[in-house]
Structure 1
């Protein structure tokens, strides 16, 4: 088989300019990818059985927006062999489902080992974005699975916000997880990408028109360009947070970014506290499909007003695609004066210098 035919170009990097630290790490990752690509089929088989001094994986950590996912994607795109790229939360969902299925079928102690073999049969490189450990059950499952994956010759690339020693910090029964941390420090390339720049934020914050209207082909194209500059569809995962003990879930999130629509944000029975928590949780919100609100839809316009007020207060970077200019979204009803104030805030959020204009 022609290996070049297996290259994955699902990630593209137009006009990417790496800073000094990113460039240095990328050069190292590129050399690592080249060494993986040069391994023969026989060497991949032998990797399962020999004790090699070469790293068993990469552990790349740093703050939000510093470029971890971008570097992982660039590494992933260079790999020619079998590979898999997945967000950690999606990975855990798949993992729990498969563990349950295998237990139902086998009912023995080799469930995780069998699962590792299944993963290894499809990928010798496994990239997991936004790795984190929240409970001891997941911690122990991951510890066993990664051990078996390494035994099967799978190269594991993790991105995360936490240094190895901070993984599952202050978690219950954390001492049981310490061997995993020691294994990461001993056998993985541990790379730190900390800097204070959020490149995604820097890239889109200067966008002149953040609030677009009406919904037409031109504005759809512009809005999609904004979305694609923040992250790819492969990076999206369900995001959740608790409000007074109640769990709120949004379908599409990435780190501190929420991608949502009118129905998801305003047609649910959300109260003021939900929007407070929402705007504390997400620094960037991308909202589309905002329609006109009728005079008798008082509950809905209250939610719209509450959302705008909190997005304004918490300085959320808001991008929105509206059916009509903001002042025409709600033109009559009991909350008209409050909504007009919200429109004024949208003007201010859109640009510190410009009023809302059609692009």
Structure 2
């Protein structure tokens, strides 16, 4: 049964959360409970607004008068990695009684916006429209498709995005669109230190007028707390290893939907086949059989907090290029305190079997790091801080 169908067995976010707590899937947390109640309140407000718009003879009897006068304010939910923001927003999205709704990663949404703007400008050049400003028609189309917009990981790093957000969302809010977003930063810190940030500040003011800002200051990263009970280095390969890796992945996902991602690094694309929030899952071949380098691994660790690698084989001299990449990959993850969950054919010290060569010497360090990355001290250090902060600093200085 899909996540969406499971959710619809519950009438509210709070009841679904309570059921997950009763099953041991989450540890009850006061901040998460408060957010669940706030999301249920928003569902009620949207339901009333939807009912007030109905043209049936009885519809107006059940609608509160205020629902006609006041626009519905959305929610901007921020907090540190792994606090349950995405999980709770996904519950809201599945349960909100609105047909015209859209849930997207913010970067995917902005890519769609840029494509629509480009298409409109091309149509204007061809004389197919007299409207030279693309924002109003793009906003019309987006609002027609979705009354409720849910964004995961709202962040602004691109100057092109920053420059159009105020006009675009001003137009969307004028058309009644309701925004629900998760982010790792509070609104005032969006696009912090960005180029020409003063031009972006009106968007922050606009955003705060149309959403209630909620800090999900949960006591801990519940996913990583549960992941600590799972093995993080699984060997040997086989059905049991796959089962354990899948179980650990389910813990990290926390019920969130999977999606594929693509990172653009120095003009080329790096495919990320499976992601959920700040976790990414790869096969060994995805990372080490393709011509990837240090900048690619840096981009991955900058974007993702927890890395899963399935199916690391025993490597020998004919596979020394894959061994070199694996050494570089582990060095990068280790240096940036990323959390690693891995399945391998054998224990770390036996993964490279060539008797000589530079790789054999360097692999001793890799084996040592793989052992250390399983230790309680390392896992606690990875949990305590956001590894992407140090990764971003390293990328910036590279």
SS in 2 for 1:40: helix
SS in 1 for 2:162: helix
SS in 2 for 1:134: coil
- The farther-off stretch of 209-218 and 27-36 is 209-218
Residue 141 of structure 2 corresponds to residue 118 of structure 1? yes
Alpha-carbon separation, structure 1, partners of 2:299 and 2:267: 12
Q: Could you say which residue in structure 1 is the equivalent of 2:380? A: none
Deviations 1:190-230 (A, max 9, x none): 111234622222221221x2222344333223212222322
- The farther-off stretch of 110-119 and 319-328 is 319-328
Q: Could you say which residue in structure 2 is the equivalent of 1:152? A: 175
Alignment CA distance shift 1:284-1:104 (3 Å): same
Alignment CA distance shift 1:269-1:74 (3 Å): same
Alignment CA distance shift 1:341-1:182 (3 Å): closer
SS in 2 for 1:39: helix
- Structure 1 unaligned blocks of 5 or more: 1-6, 354-359
SS in 1 for 2:70: coil
Instruction: Kindly report which structure 2 residues correspond to 1:249-268, keeping only aligned pairs within 5 A, or say none.
Output: 249-251=270-272, 252-253=274-275, 256-268=278-290
RMSD: 3.3
SS in 2 for 1:296: helix
Q: Could you say which residue in structure 2 is the equivalent of 1:143? A: 166
Deviations 1:35-78 (A, max 9, x none): 212433662799xxx98434432111122222221221121122
Alignment CA distance shift 1:283-1:153 (3 Å): closer
1:86/1:234 contact within 8 Å kept: no
SS in 1 for 2:26: coil
Q: In structure 2, which of residues 91, 98, 110 is the aligned counterpart of residue 81 of structure 1? A: 98
> What TM-score do the two structures reach when normalised by structure 2?
0.73
Q: In structure 2, which of residues 42, 49, 52 is the aligned counterpart of residue 39 of structure 1? A: 49
Would you tell me which structure has more helix in proportion to its own residues?
2
SS in 2 for 1:222: helix
Alignment CA distance shift 1:288-1:20 (3 Å): same
> What TM-score do the two structures reach when normalised by structure 1?
0.80
- Structure 2 unaligned blocks of 5 or more: 8-15, 61-66, 126-130, 378-398
SS in 2 for 1:297: helix
Q: Could you say which residue in structure 2 is the equivalent of 1:127? A: 150
Q: In structure 1, which of residues 281, 287, 293 is the aligned counterpart of residue 309 of structure 2? A: 287
Q: Could you say which residue in structure 2 is the equivalent of 1:99? A: 117
1:87/1:235 contact within 8 Å kept: no
Alpha-carbon separation, structure 1, partners of 2:299 and 2:161: 26
SS in 2 for 1:194: coil
Q: Could you say which residue in structure 2 is the equivalent of 1:220? A: 242
Q: In structure 1, which of residues 61, 67, 71 is the aligned counterpart of residue 84 of structure 2? A: 67
1:61/1:159 contact within 8 Å kept: yes
Alignment CA distance shift 1:342-1:171 (3 Å): closer
Alignment CA distance shift 1:253-1:43 (3 Å): same
Residue 40 of structure 2 corresponds to residue 30 of structure 1? yes
1:56/1:150 contact within 8 Å kept: no
Deviation at 1:89, TM superposition (A): 1.2
SS in 1 for 2:92: helix
Alpha-carbon separation, structure 1, partners of 2:76 and 2:346: 47
Q: In structure 2, which of residues 199, 202, 205 is the aligned counterpart of residue 179 of structure 1? A: 202
1:258/1:282 contact within 8 Å kept: yes
Residue 347 of structure 2 corresponds to residue 343 of structure 1? no
Alpha-carbon separation, structure 2, partners of 1:77 and 1:86: 13
2:49/2:68 contact within 8 Å kept: no
